[in-house]
Amino acid sequence: MPTRHGLPPTHLLLAIAIMAVWGTNFVVIKLALAHLAPLTFALLRFFFVFVPLAFFIPRPQVAWSDLAAYGILIGAGQFGILFTAMRSDITPGLASLVIQTQVFFTIGLSMWLNGEKVAPYQIGALLLATAGLLTIMAHTDGSATPLGLGLVLVAALSWALGNIAVRRAQPENMLSYVVWSALFSVPPLAGFALVIEGPERMASGIAAADSWTWAAVAWQSIGNTMFGYVAWGWLLNRHPSATVAPLALLVPVFGLGASALFLNEPLQLWKLVAFLLVMAGLSLGMFWPRIRQGWIR
pLDDT per residue over 158-189, tens digit each?
999 998 898 888 888 888 999 999 999 999 99
Q: Give how many domains the chain has, as a whole number.
A: 1
Establish whether the linkage from the previous residue to 52 is cis, with ω within 30° of 0.
Answer: yes
Which one is predicted more confidently, 58 or 175? 58
> Would residue 251 count as lying in a domain?
yes
272, burial (CB in 10 Å: exposed 0-12, middle 13-18, buried 19+): exposed
How would residue 1 be classed by pLDDT, with cut points 50, 70 and 90?
A: very low
| pLDDT number for residue 103 | 74
| pLDDT number for residue 21 | 92
> Would residue 1 count as lying in a domain?
no
Q: Is the pLDDT reported for residue 99 higher than 70?
A: yes
Strand partners, 90: 144
From CA 191, how far away is CA 197, in angstroms rounded? 10
Question: How much of the chain exceeds pLDDT 70, in percent?
Answer: 91
**Cβ atoms 242, 110 nearer than 8 A:** yes
Give the structural domain span for 27: 9-296
> Would residue 3 count as lying in a domain?
no
How would residue 2 be classed by pLDDT, with cut points 50, 70 and 90?
A: very low
> Would residue 249 count as lying in a domain?
yes
From CA 93, how far away is CA 193, in angstroms rounded? 25
> Would residue 4 count as lying in a domain?
no
45-54, 77-86, 204-213, 286-295: least confident range = 286-295
> Would residue 64 count as lying in a domain?
yes
